[in-house]
Chain A
Amino acid sequence: MLTDLTIAAARDGLRAKDFSAVDLTMAHLHAIEALNPRLNAFITVSHAKAVDQARAADVALAAGEQRALTGIPLAIKDLFCTEGVRTTAGSKMLSPFVPPYESTVTAKLLHDGAVFLGKANLDEFAMGSSNMTSAYGPVENPWKRRQDDTAVLVPGGSSGGSAAAVSARLAMGATGTDTGGSIRQPASFCGLVGVKPTYGRCSRWGVVAFASSLDHPGPFARTVQDSAILLRSMAGHDPKDSTSANLPVPDFEAACRRGVKGLRIGIPREYRSDGMPVEIDALWQQGIDWLRAAGAEIVDVSLPHTKYGLATYYIVAPAEASSNLARYDGVRFGARENGGDLRDLYERTRAEGFGPEVRRRILIGTYVLSAGYYDAYYLRAQKIRALILKDFTDAFGRVDALLAPTAPSAAFAQGENMDDPIQMYLNDLFTVPANLAGVPAASVPAGLDANGLPLGLQVIGKPFDEETVFAVSTAIEQAARFTALPSLRAGG
């Protein structure tokens, strides 16, 4: 089935004219037609545009012009502004918004010949770990518990639609954004590779902002190599983003083949939390053994401020969000609720347009920045953030990469963890520190839990050393031989 191909294989098949780009895109559009009504992975399917792009890809291929992603059909998280295609951020607030511009990352993908199937569902403004906060309804995880295939599981979040789409073979790859784990946690929940590159590697220009200092665009794919192909196209200096790094983009695909012989891999002892499921602990140990067997040296390291990462994150991210989301006021774009005076218009527009989790985080963020509380909350959090970065810097003085679990659990069911926001926040316990420090990290599918649900291991690297992350991830991928398939998938 064309939908089962990896990006690397599809690239070869297109070059060899085994099939056309239109064939490949149509196969995915049919899969979307069949499964999206159930999975709800896409908010918008841009059928006609995708077909046009695929035709253009075929013209290019016929002319012998194959770029990195010519004819490869992708899902785009609906947080990336796409010119002329509605971009909602999963919010009612932006339901009527059609951007007159293309985000830098998606423009780069288009430049490399990619086909965009549509806009993937997500937690509202990327705030969530389950995709349950989307104003466009939850996304169903294509994976099922072995013992109970009636339970509807979440795909994780916030990039839940992207993960579900790639997992169910509705797209060959997808873009996501990772602010506290929003690529890696859904990758772990859906049996995918998800990469959060170094802060500054992928431009944030044109990506609807959640928390500017923590937002990282990155790819989802079914293999490490595919994720490397996607990241290479997405990455690169952008003069329109002041925080974009002016560095060359390495050949990540080549880095996948480097091997891990002689690398020093740190095992951060603080990631071993109390009450962590034994399966996850066992999988982590398995990963350690695989890497040792592949020639890496395993080193015990300490990241002493890890446990404070999550609480730090829940000050910094809402603070930035409270400011970033102030622009949604019903005046220049998006939804408007008319009231009496201007204040009433603002208050009604924002009460109606934002869902409960977004409202909650805006209020927390407003509070921690407000007069009298700034020092106690925001300033203190910034200092602890400095300590967390120092933890990583110290560790990377001794090791080349770190290995840890991605998430403290496998995918949970819709409705679980919903009563207590903090229970939901704990999903990001292991992913948040890399966002605070800006270091690259990937989640690689490494095994299944007792319910047959995928679990990921996380590889964390030095700033701008995604190449080592890809090398280590490939070693895990090769050792794990993860071949399990989700119950719901194209042709499945």
Chain B
Amino acid sequence: MASGGCDRTPVRLNEGPAVGSLERHRMAYTIEGSTGTWEVVVGLEVHAQVVSQAKLFSGAATAFGAEPNSQVSFVDAAFPGMLPVVNAECVTQAVRTGLGLNAQIHPVSRFDRKNYFYADLPSGYQISQFEHPIVGTGEIEVELADGSTKVIGITRLHLEQDAGKSIHDQHPTKTLIDLNRSGVALMEIVSEPDIRSPEEAGAYVRKLRSILRYLGTCDGNMEEGSMRADVNVSVRKHGEPYRTRCEVKNVNSIRFVMQAVEAEATRQVEVWESGGTVMQETRLFDSGRGITRSMRSKEDAHDYRYFPDPDLLPLVLDEDWIAALKASLPELPDAKRARFIQSYGLSPYDAAVLVAEKATAEFYETVATGRDAKIAANWITGDFFAAMNRLGRTIENPPVTAAALGGLLDLMADNTINGRIAKDVFEAMVETGKDAATIVDEKGLRQVTDAGAIDEAVNRILAANPDKVAEYRSGKDKLFGFFVGQTMKALAGKGNPALINETLKRLLAA
């Protein structure tokens, strides 16, 4: 949420749909400066760690959290005479990702060396794909809060190796180097500069992560660094060509991506408006202070001296193999969302929520199959998510299983319990791990559907409240709810709501 910008400056940020407008017309996110209105232009380079057992060019393991330098081969440490050999699975994963982004797959691509010195870059170059990436142009459709969608272009996807890790806080005068990450395969996914707001930037990363997780090509775990974003930001007045951009490196959460866009755009507007010039440079996002700052260690960024890696030959892909991979792709979020709307009659919003994570969508389909799909959706997005969040659980480790939740819904469907009791049963299921039927039996929560018992209860309530009955009969309809509540209370909450309604109507009319 872009609130007010900075107090120090005349800059003001606007966002969101036009209030009261009948058209669903998005008002662009802009920054109001002292010299006018500025548009923000953002392109993202997302580095996604490829899911694979071994590294891109060596046989060392990729697992997270190992002892320092224990997952390092001589290749990863760039010992003299060591040579890279491409891991087939990393290629497959990159192609599957490309296919998932509706992108062109290049049957011939090449690895290049990007030359620069850095403490955690052992060979003094990163093997990447510069001129001929494995995947070309594609696109992603993102959903925005106002219900609209926007297509963001993908420029390219290429394979490259990760660097090691520099640890700066363990010693007063030294930086320690751990090369466990060195050589792990990354996909760099580059977007077109189509993004125009922090919200769109966030939605893009969220959607991309969802697609990668569906494909199983990246675990999308931003806390462990499996996904990081370099955020390219520039600002311009309406109708201008692009101005100089700055790259904010290694932003490691969706929230920070959104904050980095806003902070950097605001900074640039201030620079331009104070008569300065934005210099093309690499910056870091300081999440604590909510600002970006220049990155000293990237001083060679203008001259990486890319050239084809002579240790590696061109990567040549078989067209039939690509077609087979395409045929075997899983259903992706967009297709699943459309199907959920179509087959289950869900609202676009509920469908989007349920497909965001593959595991959630699977959970939902397990519950919904053979049951009322809308009720299933309401339960999952309501009580179930609430319990999951409250308990800090995940969809992979849910507070109740899909089968158990289905069992609860079945008891409602066959009138064994009513919806009010179901909420209590659900909480008991979460607490005890028992299934719904057991809890209903143990606690005697079966719904009262005996007409005689309900007649008796209603008669008792009416007899005990003669004034209210008189008021109701003289036209105070709202009191009907009071009688329902009292009756339900008398039946310890277990009354069948429809029968209670019917009985009350009949007896009050008498």
- Interface residues in chain A, defined as those with a beta carbon under 8 Å from any beta carbon in chain B: 80-81, 87, 89, 94, 97, 99-101, 103, 204-209, 211-213, 239-243, 319-320, 322-323, 326-327, 329, 331-333, 342-343, 346, 366, 369-371, 374, 378
A241 touches B307 (CB 8 A): no
Q: How far is the CA of A371 from the CA of B115 in the complex (A)?
A: 12
Stretch of B4-12, B79-87, B253-261, B355-363 lying at the A interface = B79-87
Across the interface, name the chain B residue whose C-beta is closest to A382: B308
Chain A neighbourhood of B307, CB < 8 A: 319-320, 323, 369, 374, 378
B77 touches A205 (CB 8 A): no
Across the interface, name the chain B residue whose C-beta is closest to A209: B81
Partner of A327, one of B86, B124, B305: B124
B119 touches A331 (CB 8 A): yes
Q: How far is the CA of A342 from the CA of B122 in the complex (A)?
A: 14
Stretch of B135-143, B202-210, B225-233, B309-317 lying at the A interface = B309-317
Quote the shortest CB–CB distance from B362 to chain A (angstroms): 39
CB of B23 within 8 Å of the partner chain: no
Across the interface, name the chain A residue whose C-beta is closest to B78: A327
Partner of A326, one of B77, B123, B313: B123
Chain B neighbourhood of A87, CB < 8 A: 80
Interface of B is mostly: loop
Could you jot down 30 A-B contacts, CB within 8 Å? A80-B81, A81-B81, A89-B80, A94-B80, A99-B81, A100-B74, A204-B83, A205-B82, A212-B310, A241-B83, A242-B83, A242-B311, A242-B313, A243-B313, A319-B307, A322-B115, A323-B113, A323-B124, A327-B79, A327-B80, A327-B122, A329-B117, A329-B124, A331-B177, A333-B80, A342-B119, A346-B117, A366-B305, A370-B305, A371-B303
Chain B neighbourhood of A89, CB < 8 A: 80
Quote the shortest CB–CB distance from B338 to chain A (angstroms): 43
Given A326-B115, A369-B307, A374-B307, A205 and B81 touching (CB < 8 A)? Answer: yes
Q: How far is the CA of A327 from the CA of B311 in the complex (A)?
A: 15
CB of B289 within 8 Å of the partner chain: no
Q: How far is the CA of A320 from the CA of B308 in the complex (A)?
A: 9
B125 touches A242 (CB 8 A): no
Chain A neighbourhood of B303, CB < 8 A: 370-371
Chain A neighbourhood of B305, CB < 8 A: 322-323, 366, 369-371, 374
Given A369-B305, A370-B305, A242 and B81 touching (CB < 8 A)? Answer: no
Chain A neighbourhood of B390, CB < 8 A: none
Partner of A208, one of B81, B86, B117, B310: B81
Across the interface, name the chain B residue whose C-beta is closest to A320: B310
Across the interface, name the chain A residue whose C-beta is closest to B304: A371
Chain A neighbourhood of B306, CB < 8 A: 369, 374
Q: How far is the CA of A327 from the CA of B79 in the complex (A)?
A: 8
Which of B74, B82, B311, B312 gathers most chain A CB within 10 Å? B311
A99 touches B123 (CB 8 A): no
Quote the shortest CB–CB distance from B309 to chain A (angstroms): 8
B311 touches A212 (CB 8 A): yes
A242 touches B80 (CB 8 A): no
Across the interface, name the chain A residue whose C-beta is closest to B115: A323
CB of B302 within 8 Å of the partner chain: yes
A208 touches B83 (CB 8 A): no
Quote the shortest CB–CB distance from A202 to chain B (angstroms): 13
A211 touches B312 (CB 8 A): no
Given A242-B311, A242-B313, A97 and B84 touching (CB < 8 A)? Answer: no
Given A97-B80, A204-B81, A326 and B310 touching (CB < 8 A)? Answer: no
Quote the shortest CB–CB distance from A378 to chain B (angstroms): 6
B290-304 contact mask (Cβ, 8 Å, vs A): 1 or 0: 000000000000110
Chain A neighbourhood of B310, CB < 8 A: 211-213, 243, 320
Q: 5 nearest interchain CB pairs?
A: A326-B124, A213-B310, A369-B305, A212-B310, A206-B81
B83 touches A205 (CB 8 A): yes
Q: How far is the CA of A99 from the CA of B81 in the complex (A)?
A: 10
Across the interface, name the chain A residue whose C-beta is closest to B57: A242
B119 touches A101 (CB 8 A): no
Chain B neighbourhood of A100, CB < 8 A: 74
Chain B neighbourhood of A322, CB < 8 A: 115, 305
Quote the shortest CB–CB distance from A203 to chain B (angstroms): 9
Across the interface, name the chain B residue whose C-beta is closest to A379: B307
Quote the shortest CB–CB distance from A236 to chain B (angstroms): 15
A242 touches B86 (CB 8 A): yes
Q: How far is the CA of A213 from the CA of B310 in the complex (A)?
A: 5
Chain B neighbourhood of A320, CB < 8 A: 307, 310
Q: How far is the CA of A369 from the CA of B310 in the complex (A)?
A: 14
A369 touches B115 (CB 8 A): yes
Quote the shortest CB–CB distance from B281 to chain A (angstroms): 16
Chain B neighbourhood of A366, CB < 8 A: 305
Which of B83, B122, B303 gathers most chain A CB within 10 Å? B83
Chain A neighbourhood of B84, CB < 8 A: 242
Chain A neighbourhood of B79, CB < 8 A: 81, 99, 101, 327, 332-333
Quote the shortest CB–CB distance from A28 to chain B (angstroms): 26
Q: How far is the CA of A366 from the CA of B125 in the complex (A)?
A: 13
Partner of B125, one of A239, A240, A326, A342: A326
Which of A97, A204, A329, A378 gathers most chain B CB within 10 Å? A329
Q: How far is the CA of A212 from the CA of B312 in the complex (A)?
A: 10
Chain A neighbourhood of B125, CB < 8 A: 323, 326
Partner of B77, one of A332, A342, A343, A369: A332
Quote the shortest CB–CB distance from B56 to chain A (angstroms): 12
Q: How far is the CA of A322 from the CA of B124 in the complex (A)?
A: 10
Q: How far is the CA of A212 from the CA of B81 in the complex (A)?
A: 10
Chain B neighbourhood of A206, CB < 8 A: 81-82
Beyond A323-B113, A346-B117, 17 additional pairs, beta carbon < 8 A: A81-B81, A87-B80, A204-B81, A209-B80, A209-B81, A211-B310, A240-B83, A241-B85, A320-B310, A326-B117, A326-B124, A327-B122, A329-B117, A329-B124, A333-B79, A342-B119, A371-B305
Q: How far is the CA of A31 from the CA of B268 in the complex (A)?
A: 74
B80 touches A208 (CB 8 A): yes
B237-248 contact mask (Cβ, 8 Å, vs A): 1 or 0: 000000000000
Chain B neighbourhood of A243, CB < 8 A: 310-313
CB-CB contacts below 8 Å: B104-120 with A = 113, 115, 117, 119
Partner of A371, one of B80, B85, B117, B302: B302
Chain A neighbourhood of B113, CB < 8 A: 323
Which of A103, A206, A211, A343 gathers most chain B CB within 10 Å? A206
Q: How far is the CA of A100 from the CA of B80 in the complex (A)?
A: 11
Given A101-B74, A323-B115, A326-B117, A207 and B124 touching (CB < 8 A)? Answer: no
A332 touches B115 (CB 8 A): no
Chain A neighbourhood of B74, CB < 8 A: 100-101
Q: How far is the CA of A332 from the CA of B125 in the complex (A)?
A: 15
Q: How far is the CA of A97 from the CA of B78 in the complex (A)?
A: 14
Q: How far is the CA of A212 from the CA of B86 in the complex (A)?
A: 17
Chain B neighbourhood of A239, CB < 8 A: 85
Q: How far is the CA of A329 from the CA of B81 in the complex (A)?
A: 15
Chain B neighbourhood of A371, CB < 8 A: 302-303, 305
Quote the shortest CB–CB distance from A247 to chain B (angstroms): 15
B80 touches A240 (CB 8 A): no
Q: How far is the CA of A322 from the CA of B77 in the complex (A)?
A: 18
Q: How far is the CA of A239 from the CA of B59 in the complex (A)?
A: 12
Chain A neighbourhood of B83, CB < 8 A: 204-205, 240-242
Q: How far is the CA of A211 from the CA of B309 in the complex (A)?
A: 11
B67-104 contact mask (Cβ, 8 Å, vs A): 1 or 0: 00000001001111111111000000000000000000
Which of A80, A242, A319, A342 gathers most chain B CB within 10 Å? A242
Q: How far is the CA of A204 from the CA of B307 in the complex (A)?
A: 20
A332 touches B78 (CB 8 A): yes
Q: How far is the CA of A374 from the CA of B83 in the complex (A)?
A: 25
Which of A103, A240, A327 gathers most chain B CB within 10 Å? A327
B80 touches A99 (CB 8 A): yes
Chain A neighbourhood of B78, CB < 8 A: 327, 332
Quote the shortest CB–CB distance from A78 to chain B (angstroms): 11
